[in-house]
Amino acid sequence: MTRMSAGAAVSALVIAACGAPAGPTPKPPPLPPAAPLSVRLAPSVLSCYPRPSRPCVVGVQAVVSSPANLPLSYVWSGCGSGTSSTSSCTFDRPGESEVVVEVTDALGQVARAAAMARAVNQPPLVTISSFAVFESAGSIEVAAYATDEVNSCSWDTHVVTAGGICERGYFRCFVGNLEVGARKSAPAGQCELTLTVTDEWGLSGTSTRTFTLPLR
């Protein structure tokens, strides 16, 4: 039998106690993919109502979904500008323009959203009522209604035309209440009244109503 030297015996005991030499350190498992970054613009309807003497402003906010809760940076373009989470578009006349935001998180993920901001102006909606505010042998006044984006008494122009036994039509507006009137050439017969309202941007609305006089 071969006898083991004292040094070899000690080495054998150390190996038996500590095990074989360690191999390469295993790599940690890969990190899960970053949660996707997304952004939308609010509110869903971006509109305002300009007047020639007063521009209007559409405010817009970037609403971000960032599950990783990382720091974010913002860049606005189009009619918007700035580097915060909110921006605005200013209009001095009716029209529309695109507003765009680009959001970047600390991992370099980028999300983008765009929408159309609009400065709105619609023609006035005009109605002549069949309700008589006043009637006499020589004249008639009836209620009228007109709706627009601005106060009902601040239209640029209004025109009343009259036909039948009615003539010299006129228009009155006070405290938001409208009246259309005319002089009568006879106490009884057909009277036709037409009211045309034109707003500050040149859009018009018209209503016509025919009455049999005297009203009952």
The verdict on 77 and 143 lying in the same domain is no
Same-domain pairing of 154 and 206: yes
Average pLDDT per block of 10 residues along the chain, 216 residues long: 49 48 71 78 94 94 92 98 98 97 96 97 91 88 85 76 95 80 94 93 94 86
Tell me, yes or no, whether 87 lies in a domain. yes
From 119, 153, 186, the end of a domain falls on 119
pLDDT of amino acid 156? 73
Structural domain contains residue 96: yes
Q: Is the residue at 84 inside a domain?
A: yes
Same domain, 79 and 147: no
- Residue 16 domain flag: no
- Please check whether residues 203 and 135 belong to one and the same domain: yes
Same-domain status, 109 and 149: no
The pLDDT of residue 157 is: 85
Q: Are residues 133 and 111 in the same domain?
A: no
Residue 73's CATH number? 2.60.40.10
User: 28-65: buried (b, 16+ CB within 10 Å) or exposed (e) per residue?
Assistant: eeeeeeeeebebebeeeebebbbbeeeebebebebebe
Q: Are residues 53 and 78 in the same domain?
A: yes
Q: Are residues 89 and 136 in the same domain?
A: no
pLDDT for position 28: 74
The boundaries of the domain holding residue 133 are 125-213
Supply the CATH number for residue 190's domain: 2.60.40
Domain count, the chain: 2
State the chain's mean pLDDT as an integer: 86
**Same domain (yes/no): 132, 209:** yes
Q: Residue 21's pLDDT is what?
A: 57
Q: Are residues 114 and 192 in the same domain?
A: no
Query: What does the pLDDT read at residue 25?
Result: 81
Q: Are residues 115 and 142 in the same domain?
A: no
